[in-house]
Amino acid sequence: TTNHLRHLESMATHPSGAGKIPRLNAVILGESLASEEDDLVFPSHDFSQQAHVPSPQKYLEMYNRSIVDPGGFWSDIASEFYWKEKWGQQVYSENLDVTKGKIKIEWFKGGITNICYNCLDKNVESGNGDKVALHWEGNEPDVDGSLTYRQLFEKVCQLANFLKDNGVKKGDTVIIYLPMLMELPITMLACARIGAIHSVVFAGYSAESLLQRIMDCKPKIVVTCNAVKRGKKVLNLKEIVDAALSESSQNGISVDSCLTYENESAMKKEDTKWQKGRDIWWQDVVPKYPTTCDVVWVDAEDPLFLLYTSGSTGKPKGVLHTTGGYMIYTATTFKYAFDYKESDVYWCTADCGWITGHSYVTYGPLLNGATVILYEGYVTRYSRKSLRVLGSVGEPINPSAWRWFFNVVGDSRCPISDTWWQTETGGFMITPLPGAWAQKPGSATFPFFGVEPVIVDEKGKEIEGECSGYLCVKSSWPGAFRTLYGDHDRYETTYFKPFPGYYFSGDGCSRDKNGYYWLTGRVDDVINVSGHRIGTAEVESALVSHPQCAEAAVVGVEHEVKGQGIYAFVTLVEGVPYSEDLRKSLVLVVRNQIGAFAAPDRIHWAPSLPKTRSGKIMRRILRKIASRQLDELGDISTLADPSVVDQLIALADS
């Protein structure tokens, strides 16, 4: 058994595995825990008793089965969903080892289903039609609304009919560039209903970024709205789409139609620029379509969506998820990690432009028949009495932030599910099950069912017990991504070649003596700014596109509010003087090419950059300079010109 299992077994030996008095439990649980009693936060007895997984024993029983018999474990769960035809003999097949051939992951292959059907029709038919599916809170205090499962079903069907009528077929892609209006999940579901592949582009991305994605996935239709309010500011989204579409058609990719929702509270129709023949007002056409629409049945392994995410090099990667495995995995992780109950109202603050908004605003909750809150602007009224479980995701949460979240937001009553996962993993991978075991603030705790995390050293050798290293996963799980759109080679190179035999996450991780996992952040050149994943390479290429920038190197630095901030070292073209205006225009170039969220926090003038003799930038040194850890620069003798370092330090605060 691995370490985390041994530890849980020891927790399991006492009657409830949890209790009201941490001290008592710590004593019961033995020496090793007693010495760390302050780090343990136990779920209350009442909470555990009603939980889906009430104890370590129950978890161990389920976890063991999920590892020993993944096919049996997951097909039992899958059987609770609607399948037009059952999957074939083999529940799954996989090869995660590059030395053995092409990387392949398949789950429920041959099974015929539809995720929109399972989210909507199934709930309506089982008597949940009048239950609220979506509650929407708008940017303006009094602008809100809600849709029951039946109403949502009807709206999705109308849009699905519109899409079909406009030539969208199974396997076509649709780009969705919308803020958090109900039309966003409606469009995702409508695509899924007819077997089209949706690709949501976060509505904070620039025209340039949108263009890049249009060029890559060649959508049949783009769905957007005319504008959105951010606080008091009006953002003209349609203009951004127009710019991207005219540029793409000049590059040979022309998009037939642009369906535009009139977001009245931000901008009126009359004020919106319009291209006849291409642009269509949502409100003019969609409501005229019938409110039922036949489902297009798809194979479990047919693609469901593409979501672009940043990597450490090159252009963004189109992470591709398929239908069946993703459906089962998001539904199951949602149910267990949040200990979901039918009467719960569930709110996730994530935007559907990110994976969290796919798996845990839209699909996971709706598959469970949950009532979901969608949030566009600020919350005016609140009482925290009804809170049961809190969640956290996207970056390491430090113990003091964890305590604040627990004590202040959750009134010291609600367990926190600090979930570790990625766009690529589709759903939670390492996560607390809130009723099952004691938590340690800042640790994502233990693996979800069916997930075999391993920590490897730099040679790719698994390390046991208390250790730190690179976080990998040993075998496939249903929610895993299957490829990078149009680039299976890059998929293999990025994720499976670094440590043959494993999926490599790009994250560093340690495991403590009780088997708890602690995520320590990216080990590659990806920065995590307020949960937005940004590749340093993307920021660098935006900077060097500025005519006066000769070279740029970007690193992440600790940031009090954002987790990590973006710190850019910039070398100017010879003869160009430094100036405040130039600094501003460099920041602007990043805003324009990627989006406001990727704007560098600091520009550090660099007459030259520290490089090895072979010309490789030594980011290790730049990171130390950026965080002013000047006594930890380490060995700089391998630099082609070590004096560069002093020069940079001298310019640090200019």
Contacting residues toward ligand WTA, per CB under 6 A: 309, 354-356, 393-396, 418-423, 444, 505-507, 519, 521-522, 528, 533
Q: Is 458 exposed, middle or buried (0-12, 13-18, 19+ CB in 10 A)?
A: exposed
Of the pair 71, 521, the CB lying nearest ligand WTA is at: 521
Q: Is residue 394 a contact partner of residue 356, using CB atoms and an 8 Å limit? A: yes
Asked if residues 233 and 269 have their Cβ atoms less than 8 Å apart, the reply is: no
Find all residues with CB under 8 Å of 155, minimum gap 6, and list them. 147, 182, 186
- Burial per residue of 134-170, b for 16 or more beta-carbon CB atoms within 10 angstroms, e otherwise: bbbbbbeeeebebbbbbbbbbbbbbbbbbbbeeebee
Closest CB to ligand WTA among residues 282, 428:
428
Lookup: tokens for 305: 């969506």
CA atoms of 214 and 244, how far apart (whole Å): 8
Of 128, 176, 121, 143, the C-alpha closest to 374 is: 143
Is the CB of residue 95 less than 8 Å from the CB of residue 483? no
Nearest CB to ligand WTA, comparing residues 28 and 188:
188
Calpha distance 143→110 (Å, rounded): 45
Q: How far is the CB of 173 from ligand WTA (least distance, A)?
A: 20
Work out whether strand 467-473 and strand 483-484 pair parallel, antiparallel, or are unpaired: unpaired
Contact assessment for residue 362 and residue 352, using Cβ atoms and an 8 Å cutoff: yes
DSSP letters spanning 414-473: S-EEEEB--GGGSS-SB---TTTS-B-TT--BSBPTT--EEEE-TTS-EE-SSEEEEEEE
The reply to whether 524 belongs to the active site is: yes
Which tokens sit at 126?
């089982």
Give the span between the Cα atoms of 154 and 445, in whole angstroms: 41
Cβ atoms 564, 520 nearer than 8 A: no
Residue 645 · residue 636 · CB < 8 Å: yes
Least distance from C-beta 598 to ligand WTA, angstroms? 13
Element (H, E) at 145: strand 144-148
Q: 375 or 421, CB closer to ligand WTA?
A: 421
Q: In what order do the strands lie in the sheet with 517-522?
A: 462-463, 453-456, 467-473, 503-511, 517-522
Which candidate, 306, 439, 388, 393, places its Cα nearest to that of 39?
A: 439
Helices 56-68, 70-78: inter-axial angle, 10-degree rounding = 110
3-state SS assignment for residue 221: strand
Nearer to ligand WTA, 422 or 592 (CB): 422
Rg (CA), the chain: 25
* Cα-based distances in Å from 22 to 30, 45, 473: 12, 11, 32
Q: In the numeric block, which tokens belong to residue 45?
A: 């007895």
Cα separation, 302 vs 195, in Å, equals 8
* Minimum separation from the CB atom of position 396 to ligand WTA (A): 4
Smallest distance, Å, CB 442 to ligand WTA?
Answer: 9
To ligand WTA, the closest distance from the beta carbon of 429 in angstroms equals 9
**73 versus 402: smaller Cβ distance to ligand WTA:** 402
Closest contact distance (angstroms) between CB of 176 and ligand WTA is 18
Q: CB-wise, 398 or 412, nearer to ligand WTA?
A: 398
Query: Which residue, 307 or 599, is less far from ligand WTA as judged by CB?
Result: 307
Place of tokens 């909507």: 120
**Tokens linked to 628:** 């002013």
Task: Specify whether the CB–CB gap between 382 and 375 falls below 8 A.
Answer: no
Nearest residue (CB) to ligand WTA, 19 versus 515: 515
Nearer to ligand WTA, 532 or 624 (CB): 532
CA distance 651 to 200: 41
How many H-runs (helices) and E-runs (strands) does the chain carry?
Answer: 22, 30
In the complex with ligand WTA, the residue whose CB is nearer, 258 or 355, is 355
Catalytic annotation, pick one of 344, 487, 524, 601: 524
Residues assigned a catalytic role:
524
